[in-house]
Chain A
Amino acid sequence: MIPTGSQPSQAQAGSLAGVGPSTGSQPSQAQAGSLAGVGPSTGSQPSQAQAGSLAGVGPASATRITPGNALRPEDIALEVQRGEAKPSEDVGEYALRLGDDALILAQRLGHWISRAPELEEDVALGNIALDQLGHARSLLTYAGAAWGKTEDELAYFRREPEFRSAHLFEQPNGDFAVTIVRQFIVSYYQYELYRRLTASTDATVAAIAAKAVKEVDYHRDHSAQWVLRLALGTDESRSRLLAGLRLLWPYVGELFEDDALTARLGDAAVAPSSMRADFDRLTNEVLTEAEIDVPDVPSALGGGRRGQHSEHLGYILAEMQVLAREYPGASW
């Protein structure tokens, strides 16, 4: 069983003479970021390849899931610039939904870094946050091409009603159990979504999904393992997990609502309702093993896709956007 979202690296364990407890290994994302001047290309990435490139000047591709051909936000921006990738407004709007979900979740998860229950979880939740942020950057870069905007213009200079995130992603971290439940729902939803989107008729959406699905698969593993640990661990952990499930399950429904946009997009997108059966079946398998029934709670009215948000989003944006808005037009 892998305790964190990242894969353990044999090479690394070996470098410490195989001593002490195994530490969840972790790729140096900053390395990829600062070297190539790009954000992280992957989160759940083994550090084997990286170890080889640690001579100090390894190529940025050392931390990519598929070295050499993984898609980075900068690649998409370049394609957009060259006129090789141009989404329709509908595709742009769709990418905005997915990108906003990922961005808001990354913003939430980032808060755990330096506050997690164990160092391995600081690393794991940080990795997942980085993966989500990477997906957000790609999706927002592509979405922005529909209206001539950059990822940062979309992230930092839109107002609350212009965001398209679903309410689940906006929900507060709560305790560790609430965060794990949110991860559990999100990762099983996103896995079904990205898995199908690899066949999108929009080549860029398909390429982003192909990268994302591999990473989200690790997020599923991480969340499912924690659901089991918390459900079957102690009385306290079980009751906290059950409380988290009751708190967040009402927001599941919104993720699977079809609307006019998804209908118009056809095979470029995925009809949300078409994923529900697989989501239910797979989450049920984990919950059954955890000896838990699916919470019997009514679905909450959503509206995030139409710009109608939870009370939380305003605070998230106020914090996220404050510095960028203080110096509009500045380069960082």
Chain B
Amino acid sequence: MAQNLQAVGSVTPSQPQSQLDADAGQAYFDHVMAEDSRIEPRDWMPDAYRRTLVRQISQHAHSEIIGMQPEANWISRAPSLKRKAILMAKVQDEAGHGLYLYSAAETLGTSRDEMMGQLVAGKARYSSIFNYPTVTWADMGAIGWMVDGAAICNQVPLCRASYGPYGRAMVRVCKEESFHQRQGFEILLELANGNPAQKQMAQDAVNRWYAPSLMMFGPPDDDSPNSKQSMAWNIKRFSNDELRSRFVGMMAEQVRVLGLSLPDPEVRFNEDTKTWEHGPLDWEEFKQVLAGRGPCNAQRLERRRQAHDDGGWVREAATAYAAKMAAKNEAAA
């Protein structure tokens, strides 16, 4: 797409930044935004756009990586071999998503090591919902159905994000997420049609994950300072509240198929505004968890840090070996 726009002024997007006049760069960027086209890694872009993307994409990558933990918690205890296989595969997919996203962020000039360093140093954010514990098997269903469901609502519009590598990474991520959501729904459906204890387990999980999953869309629109700029940059396409409403509608329809209920008597479709509405959310709890006071914040970070530290000698060995082989090949050449 970018190639089609090379006629704008004298700017060619493939020129290195150093040769670009900032005004021409800005003109090209503005044109891309106006055309709703795509910015590619070598194109000129405003520093703030770059910073915003690095922050958003790395937070997304961190969320995938930290998000492996609550589900990995049940791999060893999955109650059937089929479920074990599916869960293992799902958590493995999340590692893959983290990889695509770190790679997309790297195109903006920040290395994966640096981003990982920020994460283990506790200086980077990730989705707060992963700071809640997975206490029963039904949580595997609720996470798939609700948490991945919310992620899909958030991420499908990101497939059209103005930054090319991010949008393309999201295409693949979303396709896999939709399977994750279906497997979560299937777990809950099986439990809801199981014995009374299983059905109770499913309802309890839905009750616990409902509010945190609604809060995944971020603060209400009137309290979301960054949203406006992100929308102007064609990164964000819909407001937090729009996406949340859409998600509530999905849940409200699907929960009936499960034969379970949402723990919110105020969920309803407003015929006047044609949107789904929900009851009040505890934003104070959201801020507490975001500030590090969730049930599992310290545990999640410590596990990541420990894996990183324990693996240090392995990464050093791989690097040393690669250097030795390169030297050997060079000597032979």
Pick the residue among B79, B92, B102, B319 that contacts A127 (CB under 8 A). B92
**What are the 4 closest A-B residue pairs judged by CB atoms, nearest first?**
A117-B311, A29-B89, A233-B317, A39-B85
Interface residues of B, dominant DSSP: helix
Residue B75 CB within 8 A of the other chain: yes
Pick the residue among A20, A35, A176, A323 that contacts B102 (CB under 8 A). A20
Residue A15 CB within 8 A of the other chain: yes
Q: Tell me the smallest distance from the CB of A315 to a CB of chain B, in Å.
A: 11
**In the bound complex, what is the Cα–Cα distance between A326 and B307 (angstroms)?**
32
Contact A151 B75 (CB under 8 A): no
**In the bound complex, what is the Cα–Cα distance between A84 and B313 (angstroms)?**
52
Contact A232 B321 (CB under 8 A): yes
Contact B85 A237 (CB under 8 A): no
Contact A21 B84 (CB under 8 A): no
Contact B76 A133 (CB under 8 A): no
Q: Tell me the smallest distance from the CB of A243 to a CB of chain B, in Å.
A: 13
A122 proximity list for chain B (CB < 8 A): 68, 92, 95
Pick the residue among A25, A56, A133, A240 that contacts B175 (CB under 8 A). A56
Contact A24 B168 (CB under 8 A): no
The proximity string for A residues 110-153 relative to B, scoring 1 for CB distances below 8 Å and 0 otherwise, is 11011111111111001101100110110010000000000110
B41 proximity list for chain A (CB < 8 A): 17, 19
Identify the stretch in B17-25, B190-198, B223-231, B284-292 within 8 Å (CB) of chain A at 4 or more residues. Answer: B190-198
The proximity string for B residues 74-100 relative to A, scoring 1 for CB distances below 8 Å and 0 otherwise, is 011111111111101111110110111
B90 proximity list for chain A (CB < 8 A): 29-30
Contact B107 A20 (CB under 8 A): yes
Q: Tell me the smallest distance from the CB of A239 to a CB of chain B, in Å.
A: 10
Interface residues of A, dominant DSSP: helix
**Interface positions of A (Cβ within 8 A of B):** 12, 15-17, 19-21, 23-26, 28-35, 37-40, 54, 56, 73, 103, 106-107, 110-111, 113-123, 126-127, 129-130, 133-134, 136-137, 140, 151-152, 155-156, 175-176, 228-230, 232-234, 236-237, 240, 319-320, 322-324, 327, 330-332
A110 proximity list for chain B (CB < 8 A): 75-76, 84, 88
Contact B176 A114 (CB under 8 A): no
Residue B165 CB within 8 A of the other chain: yes
Residue B40 CB within 8 A of the other chain: yes
Pick the residue among B69, B79, B197, B313 that contacts A236 (CB under 8 A). B313
B187 proximity list for chain A (CB < 8 A): 332
Could you write out 7 A-B pairs with CB less than 8 Å apart?
A17-B165, A24-B99, A110-B84, A117-B312, A319-B76, A320-B76, A330-B195
B93 proximity list for chain A (CB < 8 A): 26, 28-30
**In the bound complex, what is the Cα–Cα distance between A111 and B178 (angstroms)?**
25
**In the bound complex, what is the Cα–Cα distance between A152 and B40 (angstroms)?**
50
The proximity string for B residues 175-216 relative to A, scoring 1 for CB distances below 8 Å and 0 otherwise, is 110111011001100110011011000000000000000000
A121 proximity list for chain B (CB < 8 A): 311, 314
Contact A123 B88 (CB under 8 A): no
Q: Tell me the smallest distance from the CB of A73 to a CB of chain B, in Å.
A: 8
Contact B76 A111 (CB under 8 A): yes
Number of interface residues of B (CB under 8 A): 73
B168 proximity list for chain A (CB < 8 A): 15-17
A26 proximity list for chain B (CB < 8 A): 92-93, 95-96
Contact A113 B88 (CB under 8 A): yes
Contact A123 B99 (CB under 8 A): yes
**In the bound complex, what is the Cα–Cα distance between A26 and B107 (angstroms)?**
21
Residue B251 CB within 8 A of the other chain: no
Contact A19 B107 (CB under 8 A): yes
Within 8 A of A (CB), among B36-69: 40-41, 65, 68-69
A25 proximity list for chain B (CB < 8 A): 96
**In the bound complex, what is the Cα–Cα distance between A204 and B186 (angstroms)?**
30
**In the bound complex, what is the Cα–Cα distance between A30 and B316 (angstroms)?**
32
Q: Tell me the smallest distance from the CB of A316 to a CB of chain B, in Å.
A: 8
**In the bound complex, what is the Cα–Cα distance between A313 and B165 (angstroms)?**
46
Contact A176 B314 (CB under 8 A): yes
Contact A20 B88 (CB under 8 A): no
Chain A residue at smallest Cβ distance from B307 = A115
Q: Tell me the smallest distance from the CB of A26 to a CB of chain B, in Å.
A: 4
Chain A residue at smallest Cβ distance from B89 = A29
Contact A129 B88 (CB under 8 A): yes
Contact B197 A54 (CB under 8 A): no
The proximity string for B residues 300-324 relative to A, scoring 1 for CB distances below 8 Å and 0 otherwise, is 0001001100111111111111001
Q: Which one of B79, B169, B187, B312 has the greatest number of beta carbons of chain A within 10 Å? A: B79
Contact B313 A39 (CB under 8 A): no
Contact B82 A114 (CB under 8 A): no
